[in-house]
Structure 1
Amino acid sequence: MTNTTHTKHTIAILVNDQPGVLQRVSGLFGRRGFNIESITVGQSEEKGISRMVIVSTGDDKTIEQIEKQLYKIIDVIKVVDLSANPMVGRELALIKVKSDPGTRPEIMGLVETFRAAVVDIGTNSLMVQVVGDTEKIDAMIELLSPYGIRELSRTGVTAMIRGNA
């Protein structure tokens, strides 16, 4: 039975490491009217091959159509809907938060609880690095917001299927 509700899909695409491939892949999503929530691109285990991980929202039928369209792009080697399998997905965020001597202990307590790290200390700010799934990053941002977030940078999700697959 096909899922007609719009759900979040994490798609891995192996591509030849060539100029313009990212533009063609992202353009396909845009032409189909899909927003890319996050996209990460980097080297894969094989020289000359890059792995793109794209998070987008749509129903199963449309995601299936996008997969078929992706295979029509010359440099696309393999497309896998990771969210259809048990997967591990992680992202990294750097969060610069306002901090004075009075609030530092509270912020440090949050950092410790989330197994995050303070990677820079300024006179009135701390930079926190947190790694985890999207929900963990969202929760950390929500808890740091009352202190005043000055700057925020997120990598987007990278993911793999669990186990021996």
Structure 2
Amino acid sequence: MSGMDTRTATIAVLVENEAGVLARVIGLFSGRGYNIDSLTVAPVDDEGRLSRITVVTSGTEMVIEQIKAQLDRLVPVHKVADLTVEGPHLVRELALIKVVGTGDHRVEALRLADAFRARVVDATTESFVFEMTGNADKIDAFCALMRPLGLAEICRTGAVAIARGTRQMAL
């Protein structure tokens, strides 16, 4: 890969769960003009001391290395892992997708939902709300197929990611 090629990176950051940490992480990106494609954060230990932030971003190899180094220097950060290059990993999103329609459109929406393993979590005579988990491409594809059938609203969590096998971020 040449120096100007860009790539997408899924970066997991283990941090102290304290006020202002997320703002500092976001500030690191915005202050340098780096884009965040997806961001999720939640506590990950029993005591609520640690949170895991998953950031999906893109840039040249040099930019991504800078991002990782700068994240690693933030005081409440325990560990930074670029799951994209460290080995096999799983990435999932959760989406709630509302489709409004009647007649044949309802039947087709249900058929496609079944094919995509989307679950109906709410239904009225004129609408469905589907719950779906998967990678971003799967969710994008499902939403594209729902557009002509009455796609009304989408709510997505953003990516969460974890290494496969025994590799782990220590708690």
| Short-chain TM bin | over 0.9
| 2:10 paired with 1:13 | no
TM, length-normalised to structure 2? 0.91
* CA distance in 1 between partners of 2:137 and 2:45 (Å): 28
1:6-64 superposed Cα distances (whole Å, 9 cap, x missing partner): 11110000000000000000110111211111100012246311000000111111111
Mapped partners of 1:51, 1:68: distance in 2: 17
SS in 1 for 2:73: coil
Q: Which amino acid aligns with 1:11?
A: I
How far, CA to CA, are the matches of 1:161 and 1:61 in structure 2? 23
The one of 143, 156, 165 aligned to 1:163: 165
Aligned to 1:90: 92
Q: Tell me which amino acid in the other structure corresponds to 1:63.
A: I
Partners of 1:2 and 1:61 within 8 A in 2: no
Q: Percent identity?
A: 43
Deviations 1:65-110 (A, max 9, x none): 1111112211011000011121100001101011213322211110
TM-score (norm 1): 0.95
Aligned AA (1:38)? S
The corresponding residue for 1:120 is 122
Aligned partner of 2:36 in structure 1 is: 36
Judged with a 3 Å threshold, the aligned counterparts in structure 2 of structure 1 residues 15 and 46 are, in CA distance, closer, same or farther, namely: farther
1:73 corresponds to: 74
* Contact persistence 2:15–2:79 (CA under 8 A): yes
CA distance in 1, matches of 2:78, 2:101: 48
Contact 1:90/1:157 (8 A) holds in 2: yes
Unaligned runs of 5+ in 1: none
Q: Which letter maps to 2:13? A: I
SS at match of 2:62: helix
Q: Does 1:59 align with 2:55?
A: no
Distance 2:33 2:163 in 1: 27
Question: Mean alpha-carbon deviation: is it higher for 112-121 or for 95-104?
Answer: 95-104
Ranges in structure 2 where 5+ consecutive residues have no aligned partner: none
The amino acid that maps onto 1:65 is Q
Q: Is this contact kept in 1: 2:43–2:50, CA < 8 A?
A: yes
Residues of 2 paired with 1:100 and 1:90: CA distance? 31
Q: Which of these residues, 104, 107, 110, is aligned with residue 105 of structure 1?
A: 107
Alpha-carbon distance, 1:150 to partner: 1.2
Taking only aligned residues, the RMSD between alpha carbons, in angstroms, comes to 1.4
Q: Which runs of 4+ in 1 moved over 4 A?
A: none
Q: Distance in 1 between matches of 2:35 and 2:150?
A: 29
- Alpha-carbon distance in structure 1 between the residues aligned to 2:3 and 2:164: 23
